[in-house]
Amino acid sequence: MLNTHNQVTTNTNFFGNASPHELIEKYGSPLYVYNENILRDRCRELKQLITYPNFSVNYSVKANGNLSLLKIAREEELNVDAMSPGEIYVEEMAGFKSDQILFISNNISAEEMQYALDRNITVSVDSLSQLETLGKINNGGKVCVRFNPGVGAGHHEKVVTGGKKTKFGIEPTKIEEVKEILEKYNLHLTGINQHIGSLFMDGDKYIEGINSLLSIAKNFKDLDFIDLGGGFGIPYKKLDHQPRLDLIELGKKLDKVLFNFAKEYGKQLQFKIEPGRYIVGECGLLLGTVHSTKVNYDIKYIGTDLGFNVLKRPIMYDSYHDIEIYRTRTKPSTKSEFVTVVGNICESGDIIAKERMLPEIFEGDLLGVLDAGAYGYCMASNYNNRLRPAEVLISATGDSKLIRKRDSFESLVNNFII
C-alpha cells in the first residue's frame, strides 16, 4: 500500500494476512472487521484486573452480540450480562450456562422475567414496582437489585446511567421499601449491582461509585455477589496518542477497597464487573469506500458509503473516531486539509467526522474508522433500505473469516406480509 495514513492498524497488524482492499473485494463495502488477537488481549487484561480471588468479568453483550465474538469471550472465561431475552437467546447459543448469565433488566414485562426464570437465570430489577412483579411470579426465589447511588460518569449525557437524573436503578433512600418487598415475597437477594455510565478514562469516579454501592450493600446480610458495573473507557484518539485507562492503578485501588469490604462483611463474596466497550471496542474497525469528493461553499466533503445506518455513534453521541486512509494507487497526498467525512444517507446530519484534518483523500480510497467494535454493528439499521454490512474476523493466524453475512434485498422484505 502506498501513501497511506494507517499507523494504528500497522502497529497492531490489524488486517493479518489480508489488506483492506482484499477484504473489501472479497466481502464488499462497507465492512466490519474484527481482530481476534486484540479481542483476546482485552478479555485477558480485565480478567487480570485485580488479585481478589472471587471475581468475574461479565461481558456486556449489548456492545456487540456477534455469536463468533461471544464464543471467543467464553473461551476466555468471561461471563455475560443480558439486557433482553434476545440477548439471553444468543448467549445460550454461544454456550453460556445459566449461572454465567445475569439479566440486567429495565422496565420489562412479567413474560420477559419468566423467560429468564424458566432458564434459572438471575434477574436484576431496577425499581420497586418491578421487584413486586418479580415477587409475584417468583415467590421464594432469587433476585438481584440495581441501585443508583447518585453517582454518574460518562462521555456524553446519553451514556451517564447513574446519578440523579437517569431512569436507572433504585435510590438508596428506598432500601427499607426494598426490604419490605423482599420479605413480603420471601425473596432471597443474592446480589446488588449498579452501572454509573460509560467511558470513564480515570478510575476515580468509578471507585467513588463503588464506595457508595458498598455502603448500600452493608444493609443486606446475605449477598453472594456485588456487581460494580462497566464503563471502562478506551482511547478513541489513538492518532493523537491519547493514553489508555491505567488498569494497573485502578486494579490496585479496587483490590484495596474490595479486600477491605469482604473482611468487614465477613464473607468473601463475589465481585463482578460488566465491561462492554473495553472488551470489543478496539478489536473492531469499519471499512468503507470513498465514492466522491467535492467542495460545497468552502467545505470539502468526502462522500463515502459509511452512513449513520452503519455507524451511529457520531450522530448519536457526537463521538470521535480516528480515521485511517488506505490507497493502492500511486497518487500521493501532497497536503493535509480539513475535510468533513459523510455517508450516503439522505440526512444532512449524516456525518462521520466533521472538519477533520486529514491527508488529501481521493475517490477510490478506502477509509478505516477505528474503534468501531462496540456500539457499531449492533446499532446499525436498514434506514434508507440500506443493507447492514457483513462482519469479518481476522483470526489469530491472520486469516479472514466471514462471521455474519451482509443483509440482502430478501432479508429487507422478509417480514412483509405479501
Ligand X SMILES: *Cc1c(COP(=O)(O)O)cnc(C)c1O
Instruction: Report how far residue 80's alpha carbon sits from residue 77's, in angstroms, rounded to the nearest whole number.
Output: 10
List 43, 144, 283, 346, catalytic entry: 346
Q: Which residue has the cell 420497586?
A: 128
Stretch that binds ligand X, among 5-13, 245-253, 273-281, 405-413 (CB under 6 A): 273-281
Nearer to ligand X, 91 or 350 (CB): 91
Judged by beta carbon, residue 15 or residue 375, the one nearer ligand X is: 375
Q: Closest Cα to residue 280, out of 98, 94, 32, 100? A: 32
Q: Count the Cβ atoms, other than its own, within 10 Å of residue 316.
A: 14
Minimum Å gap between C-beta 168 and ligand X is 8
386 vs 158: CA distance, rounded Å:
26
What residues numbered 380-409 form the site for ligand X, per CB under 6 A? Answer: none
The CB-of-278 to ligand X minimum distance in angstroms stands at 6
Tell the smallest beta-carbon distance from residue 300 to ligand X (Å): 33
Binding to ligand X (CB under 6 A) within 277-306 occurs at 277-278
Q: Which is nearer to ligand X, 168 or 185 (CB)?
A: 168
* C-alpha pair distances (Å), 323 with each of 123, 337, 351, 365: 40, 14, 13, 12
Residues 85-124: x/- map of binding to ligand X (CB under 6 A)? -------------------x--------------------
Min dist. Cβ of residue 399 to ligand X (A): 28
Cell digits for 230? 462497566
User: With respect to ligand X, which residue has the nearer C-beta, 1 or 378?
Assistant: 378
Of 201, 391, 374, 157, nearest in space to 281 by CA: 374
Give me the residue label for grid cell 451514556: 159
Task: Tell me if 198 contacts ligand X by CB under 6 A.
Answer: yes
Handedness of CA 182, 187, 189, 195 (dihedral sign): negative
Please provide residue 84's backbone torsions phi and psi, each rounded to the nearest 5 degrees: -160, 160
Kindly report whether the peptide bond that precedes residue 30 is cis, defined as omega within 30 degrees of 0: yes
Active-site residue 346, yes or no? yes
Question: Least Å distance between CB 130 and ligand X?
Answer: 14
By CB under 6 A, what part of segment 224-243 binds ligand X?
A: 229-232
The CA distance from 141 to 150, in Å, is: 28
Per-residue interface string for the shown chain with ligand X, residues 120-159, x marking contact by CB under 6 A: ----------------------------------------
Is 373 a binder of ligand X (CB under 6 A)?
A: no
Q: Which of 195, 312, 313, 356 binds ligand X (CB under 6 A)?
A: 195
Contacts of 207-212 with C-beta under 8 Å, sequence gap 24+, read: 207/250, 207/253, 207/254, 207/257, 208/151, 209/149, 209/151, 209/153, 209/162, 210/254, 210/257, 211/257, 212/149, 212/150, 212/151, 212/172
Do 137 and 117 form a contact (C-beta atoms < 8 A)? yes
- Interface segment toward ligand X; rule CB under 6 A; list 11-19, 171-179, 276-284, 362-370: 276-284
**Count of residues interacting with ligand X (CB under 6 A):** 19
Contact flag: residue 199 with ligand X (CB under 6 A): yes
Residues numbered 9-48 forming contacts with ligand X, rule: CB under 6 A: none
395: number of Cβ within 10 Å: 18
Q: Which residues bind ligand X (CB under 6 A)?
A: 60, 62-63, 81, 104, 161, 195, 198-199, 229-232, 274-278, 374
Q: Which residues are catalytic?
A: 346
